[in-house]
Amino acid sequence: MGASIKCIEALGLNIIEAQTCGVPVLAPNAPPFTEIIMDNHTGFLYTDPRIDNGESFDQLLKKISSLIKRIDPTTEVDHLNKFSLESFTHRIGLITNWVEKEGYL
């Protein structure tokens, strides 16, 4: 199980890498994690411990320990494809075209 700390990495590449390898992740229920984790599908989100003194995280750990079936993030192909090289290249192409059209280049 992968875990991430809110202040460490702005995009959460470590989470995307873990999900791609089939490792469910734990992260605070806040951006950017809410954009890259499908709660209960590719990982689990919990309330920032600074807000609830870790109560949500504690409940999540109890929930995970009682799961009968382990989640497998690699089954969420459409979700993971949003972070592929092809998807990234496409988005950069759209931005580049817009910049050229607007005359910024």
**Which helix (H) or strand (E) element contains residue 45?**
strand 43-46
Full-model pTM:
0.65
Q: Is there a domain that residue 44 lies in? A: yes
The mean of the pLDDT values for the chain is 84
Q: Is there a domain that residue 103 lies in? A: no
Strand order in the sheet with 25-28: 2-3, 25-28, 43-46
Q: Is there a domain that residue 9 lies in? A: yes
Which residue range is the domain that position 26 belongs to? 2-74
Paired tokens of 16:
């995307």
Q: Is there a domain that residue 102 lies in? A: no
| Contact predicate 83/37, CB 8 Å | no
Q: Is there a domain that residue 79 lies in? A: no
- Report CA torsion sign: 21, 71, 26, 10: positive
Q: Is there a domain that residue 68 lies in? A: yes
Query: What's the whole-number mean pLDDT along residues 89-96?
Result: 92
Is pLDDT at 39 greater than 70 in this prediction? yes
Q: Is there a domain that residue 67 lies in? A: yes
- How many domains are contained in the chain? 1
